[in-house]
C-alpha cells in the first residue's frame, strides 16, 4: 500500500494498515513527518505550522480510543482550555477602525490570563503577541469567512459531517483520498480518524475483519 503524504491522516492510515496486515510505504515531500502539525525554528524561536484542535480527545470522549490505538496519548494528559470564538461579521464590521486593534489586544489578554492559570510564569516569557482574527484567516488562507479548519460549519456543510465526501475519483481504481479537505469539520482528531476510516473501508472491500490494537 502506497501512502502519499506523511501528515496526520497518512500516518494514521499507515498505522491502521499495518495493524491489519498490509505492507505500507509512506512518501513525504518534507524532510520530516507530521504535515501541518510540524514546526520550524528561526533565530531561536519555534513556530507551529498551524493551530491544532484536539477537541473530543479526553477520557470518555469520542476520539480518545483513536489516540489510544495510535499510541499517541499513553502517559500524557489533556488540558482543556475554553474555546474563544467570535463571529466573522463582527470583525468585518469593525475592520479599519480603532476598536479593531483594541479588540485584538483584549482577546490576547484574556487568552494569556487563561494560559497563566495552567502554566504559571508564561506571561513573563512572552516577548511578542500577534492576534489572528477570522479576517486574518480569510486573508492568508482564502478560507470562507475565515474558518480556521478550512470548513465552516453551517446549514449546508453540517450534513456532510454525517454523509461525508467521496473518497475516490472516477477512473482511478484503488485510489483513496483522506485528510483535511475530504473531512468536513477539520481538526487533528478528525483528520486522524480519516486515516482510520479509509483502512476500515479497504478491509471491508477486501473482505477482511478490521482489527485494532492498543499499544501498552
14 burial type by CB count under 10 A (0-12 exposed, 13-18 middle, 19+ buried): buried
The pLDDT tens digits of the residues spanning 1-21 come to 999 999 999 999 999 999 999
The pLDDT tens digits of the residues spanning 103-139 come to 999 989 988 998 898 889 999 999 888 888 889 988 8
Q: What stretch of H or E contains 3?
A: strand 2-4
**204 contact partners, CB below 8 Å, separation of at least 6:** 210
Q: What is the pTM of this model?
A: 0.78
User: Does residue 51 carry a pLDDT above 70?
Assistant: no
The pLDDT tens digits of the residues spanning 144-164 come to 888 776 666 677 777 777 777
Q: Considering the domain 2-83+148-205 in this protein, what is its CATH number?
A: 3.50.50.60
> Domain coordinates of the chain in residue numbers?
2-83+148-205, 87-132
State the pLDDT confidence band at 80, using cuts at 50, 70 and 90: low
Task: Give the CA count within 13 Å in the CB-facing half-sphere of 44.
Answer: 1
Amino acid at each position: 500500500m502506497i501512502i502519499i503524504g506523511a501528515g496526520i491522516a497518512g500516518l494514521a492510515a499507515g498505522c491502521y494498515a499495518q495493524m491489519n496486515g498490509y505492507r505500507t510505504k509512506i512518501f513525504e515531500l518534507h524532510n520530516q513527518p507530521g504535515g501541518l502539525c510540524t514546526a520550524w525554528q528561526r533565530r531561536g524561536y519555534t513556530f507551529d505550522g498551524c493551530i491544532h484542535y484536539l477537541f473530543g480527545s479526553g477520557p470518555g470522549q469520542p476520539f480518545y480510543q483513536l489516540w489510544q490505538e495510535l499510541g499517541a496519548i499513553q502517559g500524557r494528559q489533556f488540558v482543556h482550555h475554553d474555546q474563544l470564538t467570535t463571529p466573522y461579521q463582527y470583525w468585518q464590521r469593525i475592520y479599519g477602525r480603532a476598536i479593531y486593534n483594541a479588540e485584538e489586544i483584549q482577546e490576547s489578554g484574556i487568552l494569556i490570563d487563561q494560559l497563566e492559570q495552567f502554566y504559571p510564569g508564561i506571561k513573563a516569557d512572552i516577548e511578542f503577541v500577534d492576534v489572528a482574527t477570522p479576517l486574518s484567516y480569510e486573508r492568508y488562507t482564502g478560507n470562507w469567512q475565515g474558518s480556521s479548519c478550512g470548513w465552516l460549519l453551517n446549514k449546508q456543510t453540517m450534513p456532510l459531517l454525517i454523509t461525508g465526501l467521496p473518497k475516490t475519483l472516477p477512473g482511478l481504481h484503488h485510489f483513496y483520498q483522506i485528510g483535511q479537505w475530504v473531512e468536513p469539520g477539520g481538526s487533528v482528531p478528525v483528520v486522524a480518524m480519516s486515516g482510520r476510516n479509509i483502512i476500515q473501508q479497504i478491509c471491508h472491500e477486501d473482505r477482511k475483519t478490521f482489527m485494532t490494537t492498543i499499544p501498552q
